[in-house]
Amino acid sequence: MIDWGSFVVVAVVSIGSAAVLVSLFSFGLRLLAGENRRWGARIGAYACFALAALGVLYGIYLIVPALHK
């Protein structure tokens, strides 16, 4: 039998985390590509890229069972 409550939780978390990661990466691109080339914008862009990369690495950690040993 399918546990529909758990299925909905997994679906919502998957869609939400994908939206957050794409948003972080796009904000980083926007900060780098804008006419505002100040050092603060560049640091913010790199921070967005780092957070997106950490989110991807955490997702890989959760998926690959060999990393849990």
Scanning the structure block, which residue is given the tokens 């040993």?
Answer: 69
**pLDDT of amino acid 17:** 95
Quick: pLDDT tens for 19-28.
999 999 999 9
Position 46, amino acid: Y
**pLDDT of amino acid 36:** 66
User: Taking the C-alpha atoms of 15, 19, 22 and 25 in order, what is their torsion angle to the nearest 10 degrees?
Assistant: -140
Does this model's pTM top 0.85? no
**pLDDT of amino acid 34:** 75
C-beta separation of 36 from 57 below 8 A: no
Quick: pLDDT tens for 19-55.
999 999 999 999 999 776 788 889 999 999 999 999 9
